[in-house]
Every structure is written in structure tokens, then in C-alpha cells.
């Protein structure tokens, strides 16, 4: 079961260009497209005329044209052109989803359109900010969305999954603090005078021990950002990880992963930094399907919580509460 009255990352803005984009979100086939004036739209990926996928059509002015009979639908889902006749049947329309662009992503609202407020999209100001450099990747992961979100919500896995890249042994022993404010879950781990990991030592030019502070923010349905500060007496650098988790189905997930930094900004540093970042991400992403296969093999997701699970437990509590609220509201409407 999915939260519906939330904003989900549907695509990178750069993916919406000359052709429609097919994507399944919360189990529903959606087509995203950009009009000639730059407006974006998101419709159910089915032409109501003969059930052709609209994603097999093309962008046409301020509309999307079905590839089967050339029928046009605008971003509101209304039919605006039937090449074969002048009149348009009122029922010939497509379900439309609220969409908005922020921080280089197209966001979609899969629930009640009246509740969609773009001002509630998370504030990821560092994308495009001066003195910050970012890049991103989209992964389709063969795993349930909560398993994907858990990866960043529990950074105590880092010494074990990333021992030669960004992990340090102290991350498994130094406690973290978790707290909740409304629907937002926070986590922080403060480490004083620890040995930097191999990648961090290279990024900051650190020769000895450093202070390291990691602060995580989780927002529903599952949008996660982590600010990592590394410093010694001479140098202070910051890295931000942004992971937007969008369920495709009950066992597959779109994971939008971005790295942002305020160091190594010269163009010649980019290939090396990306190579290192991709290695870390691949270590994470490759492990999630192994967990999903184990869940399916044993028939259910069974877990015995430990202290390191505090943040993901709080995030799950928020999701379950919001699900109950959505179901209660839906029950009142249908009564």
C-alpha cells in the first residue's frame, strides 16, 4: 500500500524533452511530457479511444498526440483535437495528475488533486546554488521501496558495505540521535577526531584525524537528504546526498540519487569524483535486490530491530500514521 497524497519524484527535468516519457509510479502507468512552451504534463498512459499507450505517441504543441489515431490531449487531460471529426465527445478525456518542477526534477502527485500544493515539495536549495556542484543518477531497483529508503536511513551499514570507500569503523560504534518534528524525521551522528575514509581523505586533502558530522532529514513519502561535514584545523568540506525514493510497484523502485559538493569544483576533478561516487552508489544499489530476494524466499519482511534502526522505525511510524489518515478521509467520502 502506498501513500498517495504526497509529492514523488517522477523524472529528471532533462528527461522531458522532445518525446513523451513512460513511467510506472505507485503501480500506475503514467506518461510525462513537455509542451512547446515548456509546460509539463502527466497523464494516465492510455488513450481512451482504443487503449493505445500515449507514451507511444509524440509531443504536439501544447498537447500530446496519440500515435494510433492522432488524437490530441492537453496537460489537463482534455481532448483538444480529433483529426477525423470536428466535434469532441465530452467523455473523451484522460486522467491528469498534478505535476511541478523543482530542483531539476519533475514531481507528481498521485492522490487527491485538490490537496496538491507545490509549496510542500522539499527544499533542496543546493541544486544550482553558487559554489555547489551536483550530478545525479536514476536507478530502477528490484526491491521494495522501504528497503531502498532504509539504505540511507541506517548509515551504520557504511563500515561494512563500503569499507574501502567511505566507511570508517567508528560509524558502527558512535551512537546517533533521532528526533521527529511533525512529519519530518531527523538523524545526526557527531564523530570527533576520527580517521577519514580513503575517499574523504582524498576529497579534503586530510592528512590526520578529522571531525565528521552527518545530519539526515527524511520527508514523506520517502525523500531523504544527508549533509556531511568533514573538517580539521585547516579545511572544512561539505557533501550532500539526496535520495528520492519513488515506488514503481510493490517490489520495484525508482531511486533518484544525487551527490552535491562544495569542493573539488574544477572541471578536471569531475571524472575522478564521479568515478568514486558511482562506486559507492553501486555498492548500495547492488545489495537491495539481495534483500528483496531474501524477503520473497522467506515469504515476508521479518526484522528484529537494533539501536541503529531508530530513524527508519520513526519514518515507518510517520508513513503508517499518514496512511491511516488517508484511509480515514477516503472512508468518510465514500460513506
What mean pLDDT do residues 252-264 have? Answer: 96
Task: Name the pLDDT band for 320 (thresholds 50, 70, 90).
Answer: very high
Pair (81, 213) in one structural domain: no
Which residues have C-beta within 8 Å of that of residue 265, sequence separation ≥ 6? Answer: 131, 133
Question: 125 lies in a domain?
Answer: no
Pair (116, 138) in one structural domain: no
Pair (26, 140) in one structural domain: no
**What is the predicted pLDDT for the residue at 302?**
75
Q: What is the pLDDT of residues 24-80, one digit of tens each?
A: 999 999 999 999 999 999 999 999 999 999 999 999 999 999 999 999 999 999 999
**What is the predicted pLDDT for the residue at 260?**
97
Pair (142, 101) in one structural domain: no
Pair (107, 160) in one structural domain: no
**What is the predicted pLDDT for the residue at 156?**
86
What mean pLDDT do residues 92-103 have? Answer: 97
What's the CA gap between 147 and 291, in Å, rounded?
A: 8
Q: Give 34 or 327, the one with higher predicted confidence.
A: 34
> Domain boundary at 120, 152, 174, which?
120
Terminal-to-terminal C-alpha distance of the chain: 21
Pair (142, 286) in one structural domain: yes
Q: Give 172 or 59, the one with higher predicted confidence.
A: 59
Match 515506488 to its residue by C-alpha cell.
247
Whether 335 has a pLDDT exceeding 70, the answer reads no
Pair (99, 155) in one structural domain: no
Pair (116, 217) in one structural domain: no
What mean pLDDT do residues 219-242 have? Answer: 97
Total tally of structural domains belonging to the chain: 2
Whether 330 has a pLDDT exceeding 80, the answer reads no
> Domain boundary at 93, 120, 147, which?
120
Pair (114, 153) in one structural domain: no
Counting residues of the chain whose pLDDT is more than 70, the rounded percentage is 100
Match 527535468 to its residue by C-alpha cell.
13
Residue-number span of the structural domain to which 113 is assigned: 7-120
Is the separation of the CB atoms in 79 and 73 below 8 Å?
Answer: yes
Task: Name the pLDDT band for 301 (thresholds 50, 70, 90).
Answer: confident
Pair (244, 306) in one structural domain: yes
What's the CA gap between 90 and 78, in Å, rounded?
A: 9
Pair (100, 151) in one structural domain: no
Whether 230 has a pLDDT exceeding 90, the answer reads yes
What's the CA gap between 13 and 261, in Å, rounded?
A: 20
> Domain boundary at 89, 120, 151, which?
120
**DSSP state string for 266-282:** SGGGHHHHHHHHHHHHH
What mean pLDDT do residues 114-132 have? Answer: 95
Whether 251 has a pLDDT exceeding 80, the answer reads yes
Question: 100 lies in a domain?
Answer: yes
Task: Name the pLDDT band for 300 (thresholds 50, 70, 90).
Answer: confident
Question: 333 lies in a domain?
Answer: no
Question: 228 lies in a domain?
Answer: yes
Pair (22, 47) in one structural domain: yes
Residue 271's CATH number? 3.90.380.10
**What is the predicted pLDDT for the residue at 128?**
85
Total-model pTM: 0.94
What mean pLDDT do residues 81-87 have? Answer: 95
**Average pLDDT of the residues of the chain:** 94
Residue 32's CATH number? 2.102.10.10
What mean pLDDT do residues 185-195 have? Answer: 96
Counting residues of the chain whose pLDDT is more than 90, the rounded percentage is 87
**What is the predicted pLDDT for the residue at 45?**
98
Whether 119 has a pLDDT exceeding 80, the answer reads yes
What's the CA gap between 11 and 113, in Å, rounded?
A: 19
What mean pLDDT do residues 233-255 have? Answer: 97
Q: What is the pLDDT of residues 272-281, one digit of tens each?
A: 999 999 999 9
**Least-confidence region, from 55-59, 105-109, 307-311:** 307-311
What's the CA gap between 69 and 323, in Å, rounded?
A: 40
Amino acid at each position: 500500500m502506498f501513500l498517495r497524497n504526497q509529492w514523488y519524484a517522477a523524472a529528471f527535468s532533462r528527461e522531458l524533452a522532445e518525446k513523451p516519457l513512460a513511467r510506472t509510479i505507485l503501480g500506475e502507468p503514467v506518461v510525462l511530457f513537455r509542451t512547446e512552451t515548456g509546460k509539463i504534463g502527466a497523464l494516465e498512459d492510455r488513450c481512451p479511444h482504443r487503449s493505445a499507450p500515449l507514451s507511444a505517441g509524440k509531443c504536439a504543441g501544447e498537447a500530446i498526440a496519440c500515435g494510433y489515431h492522432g488524437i490530441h490531449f492537453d496537460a489537463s487531460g482534455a481532448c483538444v483535437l480529433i483529426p477525423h471529426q470536428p466535434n469532441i465527445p465530452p467523455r473523451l478525456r484522460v486522467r491528469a495528475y498534478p505535476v511541478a518542477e523543482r530542483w531539476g526534477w519533475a514531481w507528481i502527485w498521485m492522490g487527491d488533486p485538490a490537496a496538491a500544493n507545490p509549496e510542500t515539495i522539499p527544499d533542496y536549495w543546493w541544486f544550482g546554488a553558487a559554489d555547489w556542484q551536483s550530478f545525479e543518477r536514476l536507478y530502477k531497483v528490484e526491491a521494495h521501496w522501504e528497503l531502498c529508503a532504509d539504505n540511507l536511513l541506517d548509515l551504520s551499514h557504511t563500515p561494512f558495505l563500503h569499507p574501502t570507500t567511505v566507511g570508517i569503523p567508528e560509524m558502527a560504534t558512535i551512537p546517533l540521535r533521532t528526533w521527529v518534528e511533525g512529519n519530518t524525521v531527523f538523524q545526526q551522528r557527531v564523530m570527533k577526531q576520527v580517521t577519514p575514509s580513503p575517499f574523504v581523505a582524498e576529497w579534503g586533502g586530510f592528512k590526520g584525524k578529522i571531525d565528521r558530522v552527518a545530519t539526515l532529514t527524511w520527508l514523506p513519502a520517502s525523500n531523504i537528504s544527508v549533509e556531511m561535514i568533514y573538517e580539521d584545523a585547516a579545511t572544512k568540506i561539505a557533501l550532500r546526498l539526496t535520495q528520492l525514493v519513488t515506488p514503481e510497484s510493490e517490489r520495484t523502485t525508482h531511486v533518484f540519487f544525487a551527490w552535491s559538493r562544495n569542493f573539488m569544483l574544477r572541471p578536471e576533478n569531475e571524472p575522478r569524483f564521479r568515478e568514486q561516487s558511482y562506486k559507492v552508489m553501486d555498492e548500495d544499489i547492488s545489495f537491495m535486490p539481495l534483500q528483496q530476494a531474501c524477503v520473497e524466499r522467506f515469504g515476508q519482511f521479518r526484522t528484529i530491530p537494533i539501536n541503529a534502526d531508530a530513524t527508519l522505525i520513526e519514518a515507518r511510524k510517520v508513513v503508517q500514521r499518514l496512511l491511516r489518515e488517508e484511509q480515514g478521509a477516503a472512508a468518510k467520502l465514500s460513506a
